[in-house]
Structure 1
Amino acid sequence: MSEGGGQRGARRIAEFMSRLQLKGIDIRDLIARLNSPIRFIPPHGGNPADGYEATILPDICAVIIDADQKGKLDGRLKRLAERAAKLQHGWAIVGIIALVDEATGYQDVRQRDALARILEKFVAKELRPYLPTFPLEFYRQIYRLNGWDYDESSARPGVVGHWTNNVIYKRLAPGVWKELDRLTPRDATGRLKHKLFQRLTEDVGLAKLDKHFAAILMLMKYSPNWKVFMDRLDHEFPQWGDNLMLPFPDDYTPPPGLAE
């Protein structure tokens, strides 16, 4: 449960959700949830307070991201969407670690055991059928950031595959890219016979991939060129190494008041 920021803040968020709903955005049941705070006693004691289930935070972010992707935000609200994408990405990473802790029962789990459990959640034992998974917008943004003319019918430069590994797979979760690469056979020329995402589990791996794409596309759209994008990417979403002890960014702060 997360402690609320007061009824005034909740009303402002509910009003913002109402405006998005009028613009055709699916806000789920957020207004009802915002208007129904949960009364509780803070863990450190003190007077009763109003709060909300922690899951309301990523749900609010998801609505804001959806509104931006559908072109319903403008002005300073676009900056809000960028922050929402960063928060979603950060929560997904924290969720991975929490999942490992819950599975093992230890906070100080050994790296090897933790990595094995993460791979078990992310990497499927059987190859999944091929379904288009990467949004074309990802490739359009790669071309735009490099100053190239985009032609969907033309073969992509080989370097795009290396960039995809860097930008997407190596930043999903610890060890996932190496395991996907190890399990995917290659032909006589060294090319992969299957797409790496065909080995991602549907409930965890692909779900995390979708959230990662939302954050990456947001970062791409707000970058003027490839160098700036990569600098921002390395700062906001650094590659995972072989261990879990990467420090989490200190600048994951909740968005400011949601007012137009």
Structure 2
Amino acid sequence: MTTISLVTGASRGLGRNTALAIARRGGDVILTYQSRAAEAQAVVAEIEALGRRALAFQLDSGNVAGFAAFAGRLHGALRETWQRDTIDHLVHNAGHGDHALVADTTEAQFDRLVDVHFKGVFFLTQALLPLLADGGRIVNLSTGLTRTSYPGYAAYAAVKGAVEVLTRYLAKELGGRGITVNTVAPGAIETDFGGGAVRDNADLNRQFAAMTALGRVGVPDDIGPMVASLLSPENRWVTAQRIEVSGGQAI
């Protein structure tokens, strides 16, 4: 049976790459976006061009109040498009970065990071548990910055650290249903994340490349296929793990 994966924040960057990698492996995809409707529909078209089915839904991953309605829309789409009541995979990718030293971080910045990267992950998972098939997969995206430190990312890394702890607890609580839960922690990647700093700032790019064993920063194709492979049956015995995908950054 064809798998159905829900990937949040998949209109661009690593989410888009992950959605396409899943489709290339033969899976169907439901993706969410916050505001980039046209880009999300372009991803849907790319997936359909690969011979797979795809849908896109608007979702603010930091607005817990909207999750029940989203779950209802998702269930209706599953019945209408796939004649099913469940998804197989949930990939929490949606997010943003705020670069600020501890002394300069505002409460609004902090709260938004918590809402999107931690509270949103926790309660969206809760809302979708009835729609996640037994034997399914959850992958939470984290960051290499939970293992090493870089000035300006304290709040961002801290909430991602919370997600890594949550991953272990979810793995324990959902293990009885055969659901695996893992964290994927990318290193520095050339995307538009954080304003495209790693991609567009040549000095920063060289700095991260110099501290990486493989001698370069990452690109989306280094991450999406790895996440897609983690969703496969071949990785059914991998759970509660933090898997860093960084080319050997800061080792």
The alignment's TM-score, normalised by the length of structure 2, stands at 0.27
Q: Which has the higher contact order (CA 8 A, sep 6+)?
A: 1
Larger Rg: 1
The alignment's TM-score, normalised by the length of structure 1, stands at 0.27
